[in-house]
Chains A and B, each alone.
Chain A
Amino acid sequence: MSRTLRLWVLLLGAGGLAALFAVACAGMPRFGGAWHPYGDRAVHAALAHRTANTIASVNFDQRAFDTLGEESILFGAVLGTVVLLRQTREENRRQPEPAHVYPAVRRYALFALPVTLLIGLYVIAHGQITPGGGFQGGIAVATALHLLYIAVDYRALERIRPIGRYEVGDAAGEAAYVLVGAAALVSGAAFLTNVLPFGTFNTLSSGGTVPVLNAALGVEVACGVVVLLARFLDQAVEIEETP
């Protein structure tokens, strides 16, 4: 298909979509209106299970099974990236040279590393009472480890990052989520039902299985992102084609 023809086909499709979308928008509830039946019910359900953060309750209690699917997509994407970016026959691995780092950058990054790590763990642990949870905290933890690459060099990062163990951690996070769900089956409830005691509202132990699933997801996201970045960094820093 020539470029002009392709553009015309696109224009036709986009025009049709825009027209349908405009009609749909006209039939939508008013922007900012008070009518949110699902939202109101979700808030009630979250408060009934003594979870202060309604979003965590929606993700890890009301539609926990859905989050399992989403977690599996994450797991599959990490697995796919690992397979796609492995070292091939025509490629060599080169030991990266230590690079010069400005003292100010080094000082700041070494100071920020433990702080970021602590914030990441805090966000995972407090997912059920404050905004945050496994997804956001996991990313912060993975970012913290990579500050070492900025502060020192690639070899220092490799020393604190045994890839094999992080791959196991990624799988263990996924497995822990399924096992928590299966534990509900043992107690006679449906898969991933919130069966633990709900605890006291607005404390660390509130929400039943929500903090447990949050932690499992946090482990998976942190390990998955570390593995993902490791593969891309390998391609950029270490692996080179033989001429």
Chain B
Amino acid sequence: MTVLPYALAGWLFLMGCYGLATSRNLIHAVGCLAVCQSATYVLLLAVGYRDGGTAPVFSDIAPGSRPVVDPVVQALVLTDIVIGATVTALLLSLVIQVAKRHGTVVPDELSELRG
């Protein structure tokens, strides 16, 4: 089952997309976007995993004594999480504004234009 972790990432992403497209609530949609993003964490960590590997931190293990997992993808996941958190905050503040101006958070009811 060597493709299972990759397949799981793909499945998570598609589930997030399904939620985004069928969402009837903007807060729910922001949550679905977070699910899509978690798929990228799973994919990156699956790419970087190494059998018997440990964390790529050499403060308590001698360099070269044990295999370490890929540090590049771990740094990318760290980036991803920080951006995900702040963008989620920005989107939620947009939802607050939409709710204040239009009195609804249902995307289908937001089709009318307002000056």
Contact = CB atoms under 8 A, between A and B. Distances in A.
Mostly helix, strand, loop or mixed at chain A's interface? helix
What 5 A-B pairs come out closest when comparing CB atoms?
A39-B70, A77-B86, A54-B71, A54-B56, A58-B75
A129 B59 contact: yes
Given A14-B14, A54-B56, A202-B59, A81 B6 contact: no
Taking each of B6, B17, B79, which has the highest tally of chain A beta carbons within 10 Å of its own beta carbon? B79
A235 B69 CA distance: 43
Nearest to B86: A77
Contacts of A30: 2
B51 to A, nearest CB: 4
A73 B3 contact: no
A231 B5 contact: no
Interface in A38-57: 38-39, 42-43, 46-47, 52-55, 57
Interface of A: 3, 6-7, 10, 13-14, 17-18, 21-22, 25-26, 28, 30-34, 36, 38-39, 42-43, 46-47, 52-55, 57-59, 63, 66-67, 70, 73-74, 77-78, 80-81, 84-85, 88, 129-131, 135, 202, 221, 224, 228, 231-232, 235, 241
Contacts, number: 150
Nearest to A10: B21
B71 A31 contact: no
A52 B58 contact: yes
B71 A135 contact: no
Contacts of A78: 86, 89
Given A18-B14, A63-B75, A232 B21 contact: no
B51 A32 contact: yes
Nearest to B15: A14
Contacts of A224: 86
B113 interface: no
* Most chain B C-beta atoms within 10 Å of own C-beta, residue among A26, A77, A85, A221: A77
A13 B69 CA distance: 34
Interface string B53-65: 0011111000100
B87 interface: yes
A78 B109 CA distance: 28
A169 to B, nearest CB: 16
Contacts of B110: none
Given A55-B75, A59-B75, A77-B86, A34 B67 contact: yes
Nearest to A91: B100
Interface centre among B5, B93, B96 (most CB of A within 10 A): B93
Interface in B29-63: 46-51, 55-59, 63
Given A70-B79, A85-B96, A135-B78, A77 B87 contact: yes
A47 B57 CA distance: 10
A88 to B, nearest CB: 8
A53 B7 contact: no
A39 B63 contact: no
